[in-house]
Amino acid sequence: MTSLRDRYPQPLERAVLKTQRHLDAHMQRFIALSPFVCLGSSSPDGADVTPRGDVAGFVHVLDDATILIPDWPGNNRLDTLTNIEANPEVGLLFLIPGVSESLRVNGAAEISIDPELLRRWDVGGKQPRSVLRVSVREAFLHCGKAIIRSRLWDATAQIDRASLPTYGQMLKDQIEVCDTAEEIQVSVEEGYKSRLY
Protein backbone atom coordinates (compact mmCIF):
# COMPACT_ATOMS: atom_id res chain seq x y z
CA MET A 1 0.00 0.00 0.00
CA THR A 2 1.32 3.42 -0.96
CA SER A 3 1.87 5.81 1.93
CA LEU A 4 0.84 9.43 1.84
CA ARG A 5 4.50 10.48 1.83
CA ASP A 6 5.08 8.38 -1.28
CA ARG A 7 2.50 10.45 -3.18
CA TYR A 8 4.50 13.65 -2.75
CA PRO A 9 8.07 14.64 -3.56
CA GLN A 10 10.39 15.34 -0.66
CA PRO A 11 10.28 18.99 0.49
CA LEU A 12 13.10 21.26 -0.60
CA GLU A 13 15.81 21.68 1.99
CA ARG A 14 14.94 25.35 2.43
CA ALA A 15 11.29 24.43 3.17
CA VAL A 16 12.49 22.26 6.04
CA LEU A 17 15.12 24.66 7.35
CA LYS A 18 13.00 27.82 7.26
CA THR A 19 11.15 27.06 10.51
CA GLN A 20 12.33 29.45 13.23
CA ARG A 21 11.85 29.17 16.99
CA HIS A 22 11.53 32.94 17.35
CA LEU A 23 10.39 35.95 15.33
CA ASP A 24 13.32 37.39 13.42
CA ALA A 25 13.40 40.96 12.10
CA HIS A 26 11.64 40.00 8.85
CA MET A 27 8.81 38.27 10.69
CA GLN A 28 8.40 41.16 13.12
CA ARG A 29 8.20 43.57 10.19
CA PHE A 30 5.65 41.30 8.46
CA ILE A 31 3.43 41.36 11.56
CA ALA A 32 3.78 45.14 11.84
CA LEU A 33 2.51 45.52 8.26
CA SER A 34 -0.31 43.00 8.58
CA PRO A 35 -3.89 44.20 9.14
CA PHE A 36 -5.33 40.67 9.14
CA VAL A 37 -4.63 37.34 10.82
CA CYS A 38 -6.51 34.03 10.79
CA LEU A 39 -6.46 32.46 14.25
CA GLY A 40 -6.87 28.70 14.48
CA SER A 41 -7.70 26.94 17.75
CA SER A 42 -9.14 23.64 18.86
CA SER A 43 -10.77 21.83 21.75
CA PRO A 44 -12.02 18.28 22.34
CA ASP A 45 -15.12 19.34 20.35
CA GLY A 46 -13.08 20.11 17.22
CA ALA A 47 -11.13 22.81 15.42
CA ASP A 48 -12.08 26.39 14.58
CA VAL A 49 -10.59 29.36 12.76
CA THR A 50 -11.55 33.01 13.18
CA PRO A 51 -10.52 36.22 11.40
CA ARG A 52 -8.94 39.05 13.39
CA GLY A 53 -8.30 42.40 11.79
CA ASP A 54 -7.58 46.07 12.39
CA VAL A 55 -5.16 48.67 11.09
CA ALA A 56 -1.72 47.32 10.25
CA GLY A 57 0.30 46.81 13.41
CA PHE A 58 -2.68 45.95 15.61
CA VAL A 59 -0.86 42.75 16.62
CA HIS A 60 1.99 43.79 18.89
CA VAL A 61 5.33 42.01 19.02
CA LEU A 62 6.29 42.10 22.69
CA ASP A 63 9.61 40.36 22.08
CA ASP A 64 10.99 37.83 19.61
CA ALA A 65 9.01 35.02 21.25
CA THR A 66 5.77 36.76 22.26
CA ILE A 67 2.96 38.49 20.39
CA LEU A 68 -0.18 40.20 21.68
CA ILE A 69 -3.54 40.15 19.87
CA PRO A 70 -6.42 42.36 21.08
CA ASP A 71 -9.90 40.87 21.25
CA TRP A 72 -12.15 43.54 19.77
CA PRO A 73 -15.95 43.15 19.65
CA GLY A 74 -17.28 40.29 17.56
CA ASN A 75 -20.23 37.96 17.85
CA ASN A 76 -19.59 37.22 21.56
CA ARG A 77 -19.77 33.46 20.99
CA LEU A 78 -16.24 33.21 22.48
CA ASP A 79 -15.47 30.12 20.39
CA THR A 80 -11.75 30.87 20.19
CA LEU A 81 -11.38 31.98 23.80
CA THR A 82 -13.14 28.92 25.19
CA ASN A 83 -11.05 26.73 22.91
CA ILE A 84 -7.90 28.34 24.27
CA GLU A 85 -9.07 27.71 27.83
CA ALA A 86 -9.33 24.02 26.90
CA ASN A 87 -6.26 23.84 24.65
CA PRO A 88 -3.80 26.75 24.46
CA GLU A 89 -2.25 25.61 21.15
CA VAL A 90 -3.00 28.05 18.31
CA GLY A 91 -2.02 28.57 14.70
CA LEU A 92 -1.83 32.03 13.13
CA LEU A 93 -1.72 33.04 9.47
CA PHE A 94 -0.77 36.68 8.84
CA LEU A 95 -1.68 38.33 5.54
CA ILE A 96 -0.67 41.66 4.02
CA PRO A 97 -2.84 43.01 1.18
CA GLY A 98 -0.88 42.98 -2.06
CA VAL A 99 1.77 40.56 -0.77
CA SER A 100 1.59 36.99 -2.07
CA GLU A 101 3.57 35.46 0.78
CA SER A 102 2.16 34.91 4.26
CA LEU A 103 3.54 34.28 7.73
CA ARG A 104 2.63 31.24 9.81
CA VAL A 105 3.10 31.26 13.57
CA ASN A 106 2.29 28.38 15.91
CA GLY A 107 2.42 28.52 19.67
CA ALA A 108 0.55 28.57 22.95
CA ALA A 109 -1.91 31.32 23.85
CA GLU A 110 -3.18 32.61 27.14
CA ILE A 111 -5.99 35.08 27.75
CA SER A 112 -5.11 38.21 29.71
CA ILE A 113 -7.24 41.01 31.14
CA ASP A 114 -4.22 42.81 32.59
CA PRO A 115 -5.11 46.55 32.46
CA GLU A 116 -1.54 47.39 31.47
CA LEU A 117 -1.80 45.19 28.39
CA LEU A 118 -5.32 46.40 27.52
CA ARG A 119 -4.07 50.02 27.56
CA ARG A 120 -1.79 49.25 24.61
CA TRP A 121 -4.89 49.63 22.41
CA ASP A 122 -7.14 52.63 22.81
CA VAL A 123 -9.58 53.63 20.11
CA GLY A 124 -11.75 56.57 21.08
CA GLY A 125 -11.43 55.63 24.74
CA LYS A 126 -12.32 52.00 24.09
CA GLN A 127 -10.03 49.09 24.88
CA PRO A 128 -10.32 45.39 24.05
CA ARG A 129 -12.04 43.18 26.64
CA SER A 130 -9.07 40.82 26.65
CA VAL A 131 -5.72 40.20 24.97
CA LEU A 132 -4.26 36.97 23.67
CA ARG A 133 -0.63 36.54 24.65
CA VAL A 134 0.93 34.02 22.24
CA SER A 135 4.24 32.35 23.05
CA VAL A 136 5.87 31.45 19.75
CA ARG A 137 6.85 27.79 19.28
CA GLU A 138 7.61 28.01 15.58
CA ALA A 139 7.27 30.54 12.79
CA PHE A 140 7.99 30.57 9.10
CA LEU A 141 7.25 32.49 5.93
CA HIS A 142 4.92 30.70 3.51
CA CYS A 143 5.27 30.92 -0.25
CA GLY A 144 2.61 32.72 -2.30
CA LYS A 145 1.27 29.88 -4.46
CA ALA A 146 -2.17 29.69 -2.80
CA ILE A 147 -2.70 33.46 -2.92
CA ILE A 148 -1.48 33.63 -6.52
CA ARG A 149 -3.77 30.76 -7.57
CA SER A 150 -6.73 32.36 -5.78
CA ARG A 151 -6.01 35.81 -7.25
CA LEU A 152 -6.89 37.10 -3.78
CA TRP A 153 -5.37 40.55 -4.26
CA ASP A 154 -6.36 40.88 -7.94
CA ALA A 155 -9.11 43.51 -8.20
CA THR A 156 -10.28 42.04 -11.50
CA ALA A 157 -11.07 38.76 -9.69
CA GLN A 158 -13.47 40.39 -7.24
CA ILE A 159 -17.07 39.29 -7.64
CA ASP A 160 -20.02 41.58 -8.08
CA ARG A 161 -21.40 41.70 -4.51
CA ALA A 162 -24.92 41.38 -5.92
CA SER A 163 -24.09 37.81 -7.00
CA LEU A 164 -24.32 36.75 -3.35
CA PRO A 165 -27.28 37.50 -1.06
CA THR A 166 -26.75 39.99 1.74
CA TYR A 167 -25.45 38.69 5.05
CA GLY A 168 -28.84 39.52 6.52
CA GLN A 169 -30.64 37.43 3.90
CA MET A 170 -28.32 34.44 4.29
CA LEU A 171 -28.68 34.56 8.08
CA LYS A 172 -32.47 34.86 7.86
CA ASP A 173 -32.55 31.81 5.58
CA GLN A 174 -30.48 29.82 8.08
CA ILE A 175 -32.18 30.61 11.38
CA GLU A 176 -35.67 31.25 12.66
CA VAL A 177 -35.89 34.77 14.06
CA CYS A 178 -38.63 37.39 14.05
CA ASP A 179 -36.44 39.97 12.30
CA THR A 180 -36.68 40.33 8.54
CA ALA A 181 -33.59 39.96 6.36
CA GLU A 182 -33.64 43.73 5.85
CA GLU A 183 -33.78 44.40 9.60
CA ILE A 184 -30.87 42.00 10.19
CA GLN A 185 -28.85 43.70 7.45
CA VAL A 186 -29.55 47.19 8.85
CA SER A 187 -28.46 46.01 12.32
CA VAL A 188 -25.27 44.45 10.92
CA GLU A 189 -24.38 47.54 8.92
CA GLU A 190 -25.02 49.75 11.96
CA GLY A 191 -22.66 47.52 13.89
CA TYR A 192 -20.02 47.99 11.19
CA LYS A 193 -20.35 51.76 11.68
CA SER A 194 -20.68 52.07 15.45
CA ARG A 195 -19.54 48.85 17.14
CA LEU A 196 -16.17 48.01 15.60
CA TYR A 197 -14.46 48.82 18.91
Identify the structural domains of the chain with CATH numbers, from first to last: 9-150 (2.30.110.10), 159-194 (no CATH)
Query: What's the pLDDT tens digit per position in 96-121?
Result: 999 999 999 999 999 999 999 999 99
Handedness of CA 83, 84, 85, 89 (dihedral sign): positive
Residues constituting the chain: 197
Q: Are strands 102-112 and 46-53 parallel, antiparallel or unpaired?
A: unpaired
Query: What's the pLDDT tens digit per position in 34-49?
Result: 999 999 999 999 999 9
The continuous run of DSSP H or E covering 145 comes out as: helix 145-150
Degrees (nearest 5) of the Cα angle 171, 174, 176? Answer: 95
